Amino acid sequence: MTAEQSTVDVWEALYTTRAMRRMRPEPVPMAVQARIMDAAVRAPSGGDSQGWRFLLVDDPDVRQQLAEPYRESVQLLWRGHYAAQIAGAEADPEAEGSQRFRRLQASVQYLADHFEEVPLLFFAFSRNDRDGSSTFPAVWSAMLAARAQGVGSAMTNVLDIFRPDTTKAVLGVPPDRGWNLAATVAMGYPKGRWDVAARQPAHTVTYRNRWGTEPGFSTPEPLWPPQDGPA
């Protein structure tokens, strides 16, 4: 696909790049991957250090070796960070918050259960970067470039939290050069539809000049897609 063939403008990409965890099995063509990576490396980094490396995995054998560590990591996530939320959702299953959480949990678990089937895994590594923040603009650019070409993605960070050494060993990352796993992104053509991400409205999480003051605008509904009123 060429840039001219893409019908997704920047606003559509910004509003509809959702976590897509259910993917169709067909591979992501090499030309599409090239465009994703070529866009990603245009991203900013502190001092233009470009202290990143990216590793793309489409080898079924490598995916298979990472699937069990990924599933173990998600289990640790449920038992640790999300334990209270899981208990809360079980205690009050009809509550809207519980249902939202159960949907998220099912989607996250689906990706874990099918990790070896993800057509393309994108790993981002950072170096000389205290918290990996210099690499995240490139990761998000890659996800937007994927979206622009109809490729879905889901950013995950359980492997770097729970199984960084196993992941680096499977991927052959040199252990002594300071490379840290910053993010793992699953990529593939999505089974579902693209829709606008529901979020807390911008004006409820934005202040102006001083913490707690209103920002001076109100966005109760998303501003995209544009609502064409009568001329």
Ligand X SMILES: Cc1cc2nc3c(=O)[nH]c(=O)nc-3n(C[C@H](O)[C@H](O)[C@H](O)COP(=O)(O)O)c2cc1C
Q: Which residues sit at the interface with ligand X, rule CB under 6 A?
A: 18-19, 21, 104, 108, 111, 154-158, 197
DSSP structure string for 96-162: HHHHHHHHHHHHHHHHHHTGGG-SEEEEEEESS-TTSTTTHHHHHHHHHHHHHTT-EEEEE-HHHHH
- CA–CA separation, 146 and 124 (whole Å): 15
Whole-number minimum distance, CB 108 to ligand X, in Å?
4
Whole-number minimum distance, CB 110 to ligand X, in Å?
9
Give, to the nearest 10 degrees, the angle between helix 60-79 and helix 164-171. Answer: 180
Q: Which lies closer to ligand X via its Cβ, residue 65 or residue 140?
A: 140
Which among 115, 112, 123 is positioned nearest to 181, based on CA atoms? 123
Whole-number minimum distance, CB 105 to ligand X, in Å?
10
Which among 188, 194, 158 is positioned nearest to 76, based on CA atoms? 158
Expressed in angstroms, the distance from the first to the final Cα of the chain is 36
- CA–CA separation, 125 and 168 (whole Å): 10
- CA–CA separation, 166 and 169 (whole Å): 5
Whole-number minimum distance, CB 97 to ligand X, in Å?
14
Q: Which lies closer to ligand X via its Cβ, residue 29 or residue 80?
A: 80
Give, to the nearest 10 degrees, the angle between helix 96-113 and helix 83-91. Answer: 130
Whole-number minimum distance, CB 133 to ligand X, in Å?
11
Q: Which lies closer to ligand X via its Cβ, residue 4 or residue 159?
A: 159
Q: Which lies closer to ligand X via its Cβ, residue 24 or residue 208?
A: 24
Q: Which lies closer to ligand X via its Cβ, residue 18 or residue 168?
A: 18
Q: Which lies closer to ligand X via its Cβ, residue 1 or residue 106?
A: 106
